[in-house]
Amino acid sequence: MLSSRRTPKLFLDTSVIIAALMSPTGGARLLFHLGESNILQLTIGKSVMQEADDAISRKAQHLLVDLAQLLDETRVEIGENPSDENIRTANQLVDYSPDILVLAEALQVQPDWFIIHDREHFLNNSRLQSLSFRIGTPGNVLVWLRKRL
């Protein structure tokens, strides 16, 4: 059980990073503000970082500086490469191949929450209920935090 004294660790998916950039008043951006205030510890994987960088470069290159600033100000940590075991586990839990590495990175980090917007492959995937961490949206975490405070 998560101790109320420890800073909760969140693993962020690319969709959450992009949502935070595009909507400065949305739930995803609030998670970054809470990270900057040391209320949350934010972590991403190397593939998530690369995917976010690629997506912003293709669709909104002018936001690359904002991306760097957001990650720096909130002291987002970049997790280690996933072990072969975590890759095998992820491969058994998700069917969409691009998501295997992202889930393996989350498994490597062992967060309290994996934050994502993908309902089809993650949020509605009953096989992921056996994981040691919760999977949800920024809104799910904000509701959870309100209950803890």
What tens digit of pLDDT does each residue of 89-128 get? 999 999 888 899 999 999 999 999 999 999 988 999 999 9
Of 140, 65, 67, 77, give the one whose Cα is nearest residue 109. Answer: 77
Residue 52 lies in a domain: yes
CA–centroid distance for 104 within its chain: 12
pLDDT at 149: 76
CATH of the domain at 78: 3.40.50.1010
Cα–Cα distance list, 78 to 11, 41, 104, 106, 144 (Å): 9, 11, 14, 11, 24
pTM of the model: 0.92
Residue 84 lies in a domain: yes
Q: Give pLDDT tens digits along the chain (149 positions).
A: 444 458 999 999 999 999 999 998 999 999 999 999 999 999 999 999 999 999 999 989 999 999 999 999 999 999 999 999 999 999 999 988 889 999 999 999 999 999 999 998 899 999 999 999 999 999 999 999 999 87
Residue 4 lies in a domain: no
Residue 39 lies in a domain: yes
Residue 43 lies in a domain: yes
Neighbours of 96 (CB within 10 A): 13
DSSP state of 8: P
Total tally of structural domains belonging to the chain: 1
**Which range marks the domain in which residue 65 is found?**
9-148
- At 110, give phi and psi (nearest 5°): 55, 65
Residue 53 lies in a domain: yes
Residue 34 lies in a domain: yes
Which element (helix H / strand E) includes 115? strand 113-115
pLDDT at 3: 45
